[in-house]
Amino acid sequence: MRVAAVQTTTGPDRTHNLSAAGALVEEAAGAGASLVVLPEYFSVAGGPDHLRRYAEPLTGPTVTWASGLARRLGIHLVAGSMPEQPPDGSRTDGRLFNTSCLISPTGAIQAVYRKIHLFDVSVEGAASRESATMAPGDELVVSPLGSSTEEDRGSAPVVGLSLCYDLRFPELYRILTLAGATVMVVPAAFTAATGPAHWELLLRARAVENQVFVIGAGQVGTLPTGMPPCYGHSMVVDPWGSILAERTDPNPGVVLAELDLDAQLKIRSELPVLSNRRPDAYRWPDGESGGDGRTDR
């Protein structure tokens, strides 16, 4: 299975951003990728006022564009993320959602993930309070890439959805793995301040500890006012923790890699960390809740 991570530098104009991203998605599909992952905020990026101005529902221009592109190219497309106007009935205190969609080759929205962990930090060069503009999601999402038949669903790769800052929370990825995920996607706008020390390290850690493929698609360079510079270095990591492909060029582009699903099964058989777990011995500290994630199948 060939996959691609698309690296972009989002500007202030949504129409231009979609056009630039579309050209890279077409390049990836033309090279044989059947799953293409776009970065966080690939269509709209900027400060709170800019995000609010361009927020849209799932029926808006960004998802409509992604659906048409996935259908025309016959691929699964992870539409990185966009500022989403909350659906009716959402209790967000007037805030938006940072939302990612998995689009099927038919153009249908196959799964929707709203970012759970919001980037509230005071790191020099990357200070942010995402929760002032975005409300946290509360649902973990996995979705198989196969057809609707049980036979195909059982053998198909299963995608676990996440976004950027989620990468620092290993429990999320473990639950996604236990829910069946074999490929994790991480659309991101990882900052230039934290990226050199943490981006590759965390992508590889999540891959090794869960024996999954991880696709990290990042923003790179200078984004519109209100967002810090981004690290880029989009990459694909295998279940052994090896980097299959990466983009070190600090410019937009495409990263392509082949996922060896048989090798993944072999790793899980020979080094059975998932079956060697001891959940009966695990205890959350007082005040913490372990709960299971819900899935979208």
- Rounded average pLDDT per 10-residue block, the chain, 297 residues: 98 96 98 98 96 97 98 98 92 94 98 96 84 96 76 74 98 98 98 97 98 98 94 98 98 98 97 96 81 46
Q: Is residue 106 part of a domain?
A: yes
Q: Per the domain annotation, does 190 fall within a domain?
A: yes
d(C-alpha 83, C-alpha 220), whole Å:
19
> Is 198 inside any structural domain?
yes
For residue 186, CA distances in Å to 9, 95, 278 come to 16, 23, 28
In a domain, 281, yes or no: no
Look at residue 49 and tell me if it is in a domain: yes
CA distance 125 to 113: 28
- Can you give the residue range of the structural domain that contains 102? 2-275
Count Cβ atoms within 10 A of the Cβ of residue 199 and give its class: 0-12 exposed, 13-18 middle, 19 or more buried: buried
Whichever domain contains 220, its CATH number is: 3.60.110.10
Q: Is 183 domain-assigned?
A: yes
Q: Report if residue 217 sits inside a domain.
A: yes
Number of domains in the chain: 1
- Nearest one of 158, 186, 155 to 170, comparing CA atoms: 186
| 286 inside domain | no
Ramachandran bin of 221, using left for φ above 0, alpha for ψ from -120 to 50, beta for the remaining angles = left
- CB–CB of 250/232 below 8 Å? yes
| Per-residue model confidence (pLDDT) at position 46 | 94
Confidence (pTM): 0.94
Amino acid, single-letter form, for residue 281:
A
Residues known to be catalytic: 40, 115, 164
127: which DSSP letter? -
Q: Are 236 and 203 in contact (CB under 8 A)?
A: no
Q: Are 204 and 237 in contact, with CB atoms under 8 Å apart?
A: yes
234/255 Cα distance (integer angstroms): 7
Give me the torsion for CA of 41, 80, 214, 112, rounded to 10°.
Answer: 130
